[in-house]
Amino acid sequence: DLMRQFDSQVNDFMDSLIEESATLEPAPLPAVFSPPLSDKERNKLRCCHLTDPRSVFFFLLSNHKRLMSRILCSELFEVNHIRTIYHMFIALLILFILSTLVVDFIDEGRLVLDFDLLVFAFGQIPLVVCTWLCMFLSVLVVPFALFHLWSQTQSENHSHPRLCSVLFVSIYLLYQFFALGFLPTYIVVTNSLPPASRFIVIMEQVRLMMKAHSFIRENVPRVLTWAKDKTGPSPVLPQVSQYLYFLFAPTLIYRDKYPRNPVIRWGYVATKLLQVLGSLFYAYYVFVRLCIPQFRSISLQLMDVRATVLCIFNSILPGVLVLFLAFFAFLHCWLNAFAEMLRFADRMFYKDWWNSTSFANYYRTWNVVVHDWLYYYMYRDFLWMSEKRFKPAAMLFVFTVSAVVHEYILAVCFGFFYPVLFCLFMCFGMMFNFILHDQRKGPIWNIIMWTSLFLGHGVIICLYSQEWYAQQYCPIKEPSFLDLLKPQSWSCQRGPAVD
């Protein structure tokens, strides 16, 4: 009650200060805020000079929730209650390790520490590194060079600027779809890379494609505005150092400048990278103790409704653990480690998604980095092209793009097409987005959201694992196109169990 009263009084005081600051003359916006501020925040910024201490105070007050969320995201695991949950997960990892060692000692009479699953999953690492290096160098050179060459054709001295624009757009799209889209996928498929190695290549492929699009999307309007207004002798174009920093920065929204920290805390970097490594071993023990024994026994049975239902509910625990591990390892540890090494100050990679009472809020807060890209380059651009007449269609378009990309990643990484995630995303995800909307408040809606997440991840772990074993037991020597689209787990007659 005290905090609610305090927040209400601060909001009232903030509104009065904003009204007072609106009488000041507008000033140009600084280009150091990323992810990009909302239109409301930008309007507030335009009302004040950031060189004026009073105006800085106005801005801090008007954005106190956003700034506090950034602080909370970076310091979340310093809270005692959250650290207790973190310690509980470490204790569970210790029990997984002890359980594995005890079972190995009882079955084999010795300690087995070969980590065969990790060795298999991350095989052919030299090929992965070479593929990534080629992708990165191409993204560093091609979009940057194409943009600078295109910008030179937009001056008055050039006779056919529109024809050059069509030519450069065609070359850029061919590069995106062939060099970045087709070639890495062809390499991982033809060389039969294992799942984790495929995941590294495909995730980097998607990330670099999104980065290249953001760079072009943010800088092309700058050149077009200059060509129209002729405000100077030449447009201010980004430097290669700025573009190189953006390719490594933990954001998908290009800016010439980002907020920077003064120093690098190398101890913090080492801690986060060690936590990523610990999460990797945690996932290994989750699969070894909870997934492989279960699906090895299920693989000896015919697939029916009873076995599938039992499989789904038995898969909820490993599904939830994988969800938490993916969030902690990537969104918290990996991105924070890179942000610290680059002195990248804006650490809002996620918000308090665990408190969501609606799926609409969950989608916005689970992965802020990807959400910002989808919102600015898919949702808002769709509305801009349709003149803001089809908001439901824009939302459906964003959901479809996200679902297709997620399913593409899983299909290539696992080596088979089984659109479970796509159906969950497009059917239940869209439905829950409208049913569990932002007007839903109260603890019961948070419980419903968590129950849906747990059940959904149980379905994903169960069905994809069943299909993985079916692909191993019942391989098709010369599959037709229809055979590739039909799940093997629906018709596979299991034989003796194999790993």
Give the residue, 12 or 165, on which the prediction is more confident: 165
pLDDT reported for residue 499:
46
Give the residue, 213 or 4, on which the prediction is more confident: 213
pLDDT band with cut points at 50, 70 and 90 for residue 80:
low
Share of the chain above pLDDT 70, in %: 74
CB 17 within 8 A of CB 58: yes
Query: Is residue 411 situated within a structural domain?
Result: no
pLDDT at 159 > cutoff 90:
no
pLDDT band with cut points at 50, 70 and 90 for residue 40:
very low
Query: Is residue 194 situated within a structural domain?
Result: yes
What whole-number distance in Å separates Cα of residue 492 and Cα of residue 150?
Answer: 55
What whole-number distance in Å separates Cα of residue 174 and Cα of residue 200?
Answer: 23
Identify the CA nearest to 122 among candidates 184, 198, 188: 198
Buried b (16+ CB within 10 A) or exposed e, 223-252: beebbeeeeeeebebbeeebbebbbebbbb
pLDDT at 324 > cutoff 70:
yes
Query: Is residue 466 situated within a structural domain?
Result: no
pLDDT reported for residue 1:
62
Contacts of 75 (CB under 8 A, 6+ apart): none
CB 24 within 8 A of CB 55: yes
What whole-number distance in Å separates Cα of residue 449 and Cα of residue 406?
Answer: 21
Active site residues: 406
Give the residue, 36 or 453, on which the prediction is more confident: 453
CB 21 within 8 A of CB 58: yes
pLDDT tens digits, residue range 361-391?
888 888 899 999 999 999 888 888 887 788 8
What whole-number distance in Å separates Cα of residue 41 and Cα of residue 38?
Answer: 5
Q: H helices within 329-479, ranges in order? A: 335-341, 359-365, 368-374, 380-385, 391-414, 420-423, 430-435, 443-473
Query: Is residue 339 situated within a structural domain?
Result: no
What whole-number distance in Å separates Cα of residue 96 and Cα of residue 154?
Answer: 62
Count structural domains, the chain.
1
Average pLDDT over residues 176-185: 91
* pTM, entire model: 0.78
Lowest-confidence segment of 60-69, 80-89, 266-275, 476-485 by average pLDDT: 60-69
Average pLDDT over residues 196-212: 93
Query: Is residue 36 situated within a structural domain?
Result: no
What whole-number distance in Å separates Cα of residue 17 and Cα of residue 386?
Answer: 37
Tell me the residue type at 463. L
Query: Is residue 243 situated within a structural domain?
Result: yes
Query: Is residue 162 situated within a structural domain?
Result: yes
Question: What is the sign, positive or negative, of the torsion defined by CA atoms of 135, 137, 139, 143?
Answer: negative
pLDDT reported for residue 127:
93
Q: What angle (nearest 5°) sits at the alpha carbon of residue 368, between those of residues 175 and 454?
A: 110
Domain containing 187: what range?
121-258
Query: Is residue 426 situated within a structural domain?
Result: no
